[in-house]
Amino acid sequence: MKTVAIVPAAGSGNRMNREISKQYLRLAGKPILVHTLQVLEACPGVDGLYVVVPPQDAASVRREVIDPWNLKKVAAVVAGGRERQDSVRAGLNAIDRDAEIVIVHDAVRPLISVELVERCIREAAKSGAVTVGVPVKDTVKEVGQDGRVLRTCDRSALWLTQTPQAFGRAILDRAHREAVRDGIRGTDDTSLVERLGIAVRMIPGNYRNIKITTPEDLVIAEALLAARPVV
Ligand code: CTP
Ligand code: MG
Protein backbone atom coordinates (compact mmCIF):
# COMPACT_ATOMS: atom_id res chain seq x y z
CA MET A 1 0.00 0.00 0.00
CA LYS A 2 1.36 3.38 -0.96
CA THR A 3 2.36 5.17 2.23
CA VAL A 4 3.34 8.80 2.68
CA ALA A 5 4.49 10.76 5.71
CA ILE A 6 3.43 14.31 6.52
CA VAL A 7 6.01 16.07 8.70
CA PRO A 8 4.62 19.22 10.34
CA ALA A 9 7.58 21.60 10.73
CA ALA A 10 5.80 24.94 10.45
CA GLY A 11 5.81 26.01 14.09
CA SER A 12 7.72 28.93 15.50
CA GLY A 13 8.91 27.26 18.72
CA ASN A 14 7.73 29.90 21.17
CA ARG A 15 8.39 27.74 24.23
CA MET A 16 12.00 27.18 23.13
CA ASN A 17 12.54 30.94 23.24
CA ARG A 18 15.29 31.07 20.61
CA GLU A 19 15.80 33.34 17.63
CA ILE A 20 15.42 30.55 15.08
CA SER A 21 12.60 28.00 15.12
CA LYS A 22 13.51 24.85 17.03
CA GLN A 23 13.19 22.48 14.04
CA TYR A 24 16.31 24.14 12.58
CA LEU A 25 18.41 24.02 15.79
CA ARG A 26 21.32 21.58 15.67
CA LEU A 27 21.61 18.35 17.62
CA ALA A 28 24.88 16.44 17.32
CA GLY A 29 25.81 18.79 14.44
CA LYS A 30 22.65 18.33 12.34
CA PRO A 31 19.38 20.28 12.26
CA ILE A 32 16.63 18.52 14.22
CA LEU A 33 14.53 18.41 11.04
CA VAL A 34 17.31 16.50 9.26
CA HIS A 35 17.51 13.86 12.02
CA THR A 36 13.77 13.29 11.73
CA LEU A 37 13.68 13.18 7.91
CA GLN A 38 16.65 10.79 7.77
CA VAL A 39 14.86 8.22 9.97
CA LEU A 40 11.71 8.48 7.85
CA GLU A 41 13.80 8.12 4.67
CA ALA A 42 15.34 4.95 6.06
CA CYS A 43 11.89 3.33 6.47
CA PRO A 44 11.31 0.85 3.64
CA GLY A 45 7.54 1.28 4.01
CA VAL A 46 7.57 5.06 3.49
CA ASP A 47 7.26 6.07 -0.16
CA GLY A 48 7.28 9.87 0.08
CA LEU A 49 7.72 12.72 2.54
CA TYR A 50 5.72 15.95 2.63
CA VAL A 51 7.51 18.52 4.77
CA VAL A 52 5.28 21.34 5.96
CA VAL A 53 7.21 24.52 6.78
CA PRO A 54 6.46 28.18 7.51
CA PRO A 55 5.43 29.72 4.14
CA GLN A 56 8.38 32.14 4.16
CA ASP A 57 10.85 29.24 4.67
CA ALA A 58 9.86 27.02 1.72
CA ALA A 59 12.80 28.02 -0.50
CA SER A 60 15.42 28.10 2.27
CA VAL A 61 14.42 24.66 3.59
CA ARG A 62 15.01 23.20 0.11
CA ARG A 63 18.31 25.03 -0.23
CA GLU A 64 19.68 24.59 3.30
CA VAL A 65 18.12 21.34 4.52
CA ILE A 66 16.79 19.04 1.81
CA ASP A 67 19.40 19.52 -0.92
CA PRO A 68 22.59 19.61 1.22
CA TRP A 69 21.52 16.57 3.24
CA ASN A 70 20.60 14.75 0.07
CA LEU A 71 17.10 13.81 1.22
CA LYS A 72 15.68 11.81 -1.66
CA LYS A 73 12.18 10.89 -0.53
CA VAL A 74 10.93 14.47 -0.09
CA ALA A 75 8.08 14.71 -2.59
CA ALA A 76 7.08 18.27 -1.70
CA VAL A 77 7.74 21.17 0.63
CA VAL A 78 4.35 22.54 1.63
CA ALA A 79 3.43 25.93 3.13
CA GLY A 80 2.04 25.45 6.65
CA GLY A 81 -0.71 27.24 8.52
CA ARG A 82 -1.38 29.06 11.78
CA GLU A 83 -1.77 26.01 14.00
CA ARG A 84 -0.42 22.47 13.78
CA GLN A 85 -3.80 21.19 12.59
CA ASP A 86 -3.78 23.71 9.72
CA SER A 87 -0.29 22.56 8.75
CA VAL A 88 -1.26 18.88 8.73
CA ARG A 89 -4.31 19.74 6.63
CA ALA A 90 -2.09 21.59 4.15
CA GLY A 91 0.09 18.48 3.93
CA LEU A 92 -2.95 16.29 3.45
CA ASN A 93 -4.12 18.48 0.56
CA ALA A 94 -0.73 18.07 -1.12
CA ILE A 95 -0.22 14.29 -0.96
CA ASP A 96 -0.43 11.94 -3.95
CA ARG A 97 -3.90 10.91 -5.00
CA ASP A 98 -3.04 7.24 -4.73
CA ALA A 99 -1.60 7.33 -1.19
CA GLU A 100 -3.48 4.83 0.96
CA ILE A 101 -1.74 5.13 4.34
CA VAL A 102 -0.74 8.48 5.83
CA ILE A 103 1.72 8.87 8.69
CA VAL A 104 1.91 12.15 10.60
CA HIS A 105 5.14 12.70 12.49
CA ASP A 106 6.31 15.87 14.27
CA ALA A 107 9.54 17.34 12.91
CA VAL A 108 10.67 17.93 16.48
CA ARG A 109 10.64 14.25 17.52
CA PRO A 110 13.98 13.19 16.03
CA LEU A 111 14.43 10.14 18.29
CA ILE A 112 11.99 7.80 16.54
CA SER A 113 13.14 4.50 15.20
CA VAL A 114 12.59 2.86 11.84
CA GLU A 115 11.06 -0.15 13.64
CA LEU A 116 8.42 1.99 15.35
CA VAL A 117 7.42 3.75 12.13
CA GLU A 118 7.17 0.42 10.32
CA ARG A 119 5.03 -1.01 13.13
CA CYS A 120 2.67 1.99 12.84
CA ILE A 121 2.29 1.43 9.11
CA ARG A 122 1.45 -2.26 9.60
CA GLU A 123 -1.06 -1.53 12.37
CA ALA A 124 -2.72 1.31 10.43
CA ALA A 125 -3.14 -0.99 7.43
CA LYS A 126 -4.93 -3.46 9.74
CA SER A 127 -6.98 -1.18 11.99
CA GLY A 128 -7.26 2.24 10.28
CA ALA A 129 -5.97 4.63 12.94
CA VAL A 130 -3.06 4.31 15.38
CA THR A 131 -0.92 6.43 17.64
CA VAL A 132 2.28 5.76 19.51
CA GLY A 133 2.44 6.59 23.20
CA VAL A 134 3.86 5.64 26.58
CA PRO A 135 2.25 5.00 29.99
CA VAL A 136 2.35 8.00 32.32
CA LYS A 137 5.07 7.66 34.97
CA ASP A 138 4.00 10.39 37.41
CA THR A 139 0.78 10.70 39.34
CA VAL A 140 -1.55 13.05 37.48
CA LYS A 141 -3.92 15.42 39.26
CA GLU A 142 -6.63 17.71 37.98
CA VAL A 143 -6.24 21.19 39.49
CA GLY A 144 -8.80 24.00 39.61
CA GLN A 145 -8.23 27.62 38.61
CA ASP A 146 -7.63 28.50 42.26
CA GLY A 147 -4.82 25.94 42.64
CA ARG A 148 -6.93 23.45 44.60
CA VAL A 149 -6.47 19.79 43.67
CA LEU A 150 -9.80 18.51 42.39
CA ARG A 151 -8.93 14.85 41.93
CA THR A 152 -6.23 12.31 41.32
CA CYS A 153 -6.54 10.47 38.02
CA ASP A 154 -6.31 6.68 37.72
CA ARG A 155 -2.78 6.43 36.37
CA SER A 156 -3.16 2.86 35.15
CA ALA A 157 -5.34 4.10 32.27
CA LEU A 158 -3.28 7.16 31.29
CA TRP A 159 -0.90 7.36 28.35
CA LEU A 160 1.17 10.22 26.98
CA THR A 161 0.54 10.51 23.26
CA GLN A 162 3.39 10.92 20.82
CA THR A 163 3.80 10.72 17.08
CA PRO A 164 4.03 8.89 14.69
CA GLN A 165 0.30 8.54 14.17
CA ALA A 166 -0.88 6.62 11.11
CA PHE A 167 -4.19 6.36 9.30
CA GLY A 168 -6.01 4.98 6.35
CA ARG A 169 -6.11 8.02 4.08
CA ALA A 170 -9.90 8.27 3.88
CA ILE A 171 -10.20 8.30 7.69
CA LEU A 172 -7.72 11.15 8.15
CA ASP A 173 -9.28 13.13 5.29
CA ARG A 174 -12.72 12.80 6.83
CA ALA A 175 -11.47 13.65 10.34
CA HIS A 176 -9.88 16.90 9.13
CA ARG A 177 -12.87 17.83 6.99
CA GLU A 178 -15.31 17.35 9.86
CA ALA A 179 -13.03 19.19 12.31
CA VAL A 180 -13.10 22.24 10.02
CA ARG A 181 -16.86 21.95 9.60
CA ASP A 182 -17.41 21.73 13.38
CA GLY A 183 -14.78 24.34 14.34
CA ILE A 184 -12.76 21.79 16.35
CA ARG A 185 -9.08 22.43 17.18
CA GLY A 186 -7.12 19.36 18.23
CA THR A 187 -3.51 19.16 19.39
CA ASP A 188 -3.05 15.84 17.60
CA ASP A 189 -4.65 14.04 14.68
CA THR A 190 -6.04 10.99 16.47
CA SER A 191 -8.26 13.25 18.61
CA LEU A 192 -10.00 14.33 15.39
CA VAL A 193 -10.60 10.67 14.50
CA GLU A 194 -11.77 9.69 18.01
CA ARG A 195 -14.58 12.25 17.87
CA LEU A 196 -16.03 10.47 14.84
CA GLY A 197 -16.45 7.33 16.96
CA ILE A 198 -13.72 5.52 15.01
CA ALA A 199 -11.47 3.29 17.14
CA VAL A 200 -7.85 4.40 17.52
CA ARG A 201 -5.23 1.87 18.66
CA MET A 202 -2.44 2.81 21.08
CA ILE A 203 0.92 1.30 20.20
CA PRO A 204 3.38 1.20 23.09
CA GLY A 205 6.32 3.32 21.99
CA ASN A 206 9.45 4.50 23.66
CA TYR A 207 10.34 7.01 26.39
CA ARG A 208 13.22 8.19 24.17
CA ASN A 209 10.77 9.65 21.66
CA ILE A 210 10.56 13.08 23.30
CA LYS A 211 9.11 16.16 21.65
CA ILE A 212 11.71 18.91 21.73
CA THR A 213 9.71 21.74 23.25
CA THR A 214 11.63 23.65 25.94
CA PRO A 215 15.40 24.34 26.33
CA GLU A 216 16.05 21.38 28.66
CA ASP A 217 14.70 19.01 26.00
CA LEU A 218 17.73 19.87 23.85
CA VAL A 219 20.07 18.68 26.57
CA ILE A 220 18.07 15.49 27.04
CA ALA A 221 17.93 14.83 23.30
CA GLU A 222 21.73 15.28 22.94
CA ALA A 223 22.25 12.77 25.75
CA LEU A 224 19.77 10.28 24.29
CA LEU A 225 21.35 10.56 20.83
CA ALA A 226 24.76 9.83 22.32
CA ALA A 227 23.49 6.88 24.37
CA ARG A 228 22.71 3.45 23.05
CA PRO A 229 18.97 2.76 22.96
CA VAL A 230 17.98 1.07 26.21
CA VAL A 231 14.85 -0.57 24.83
N1 CTP B 1 3.70 22.86 13.83
C2 CTP B 1 3.32 23.13 12.51
N3 CTP B 1 2.53 24.23 12.25
C4 CTP B 1 2.13 25.05 13.25
C5 CTP B 1 2.51 24.76 14.59
C6 CTP B 1 3.29 23.65 14.85
O7 CTP B 1 3.68 22.39 11.60
N8 CTP B 1 1.40 26.13 12.95
C9 CTP B 1 4.61 21.71 14.08
C10 CTP B 1 5.89 22.12 14.80
O11 CTP B 1 6.84 22.62 13.86
C12 CTP B 1 6.33 20.82 15.46
C13 CTP B 1 4.99 20.10 15.71
O14 CTP B 1 4.00 20.78 14.94
O15 CTP B 1 7.12 20.01 14.61
C16 CTP B 1 4.65 20.07 17.20
O17 CTP B 1 4.32 21.37 17.64
P18 CTP B 1 4.99 22.15 18.86
O19 CTP B 1 5.93 21.28 19.62
O20 CTP B 1 3.92 22.87 19.58
O21 CTP B 1 5.94 23.20 18.06
P22 CTP B 1 5.81 24.79 17.95
O23 CTP B 1 4.39 25.16 17.71
O24 CTP B 1 6.84 25.24 16.99
O25 CTP B 1 6.26 25.25 19.43
P26 CTP B 1 5.47 26.24 20.44
O27 CTP B 1 4.10 25.63 20.63
O28 CTP B 1 6.30 26.24 21.67
O29 CTP B 1 5.41 27.58 19.75
MG1 MG C 1 2.83 24.67 19.16
**Minimum mean pLDDT range among 116-125, 128-137, 168-177, 221-230:** 221-230
| CA-based nearest residue to 216, from 21, 41, 80, 22 | 22
pLDDT digits (tens, 9 = 90+) for 168-199: 999 999 999 999 999 999 999 999 999 999 99
d(CA 169, CA 173): 6
pLDDT at 230: 60
Q: Is the pLDDT of residue 71 over 80?
A: yes
Name all residues whose Cβ lies below 6 A of ligand 1. Answer: 8-15, 23, 52, 80-84, 87, 106-108, 211, 213
d(CA 119, CA 219): 28
Q: Is 0.85 topped by the overall pTM?
A: yes
Q: Which ligand is nearest to the CA of 165?
A: 1
pLDDT digits (tens, 9 = 90+) for 140-164: 999 999 999 999 999 999 999 999 9
Averaged confidence pLDDT in the chain: 97
Centre of ligand 1 to C-alpha 18, Å, is 14
pLDDT at 229: 67
d(CA 55, CA 10): 8
3-state secondary structure of 122: helix
d(CA 36, CA 119): 17
The amino acid at 81: G
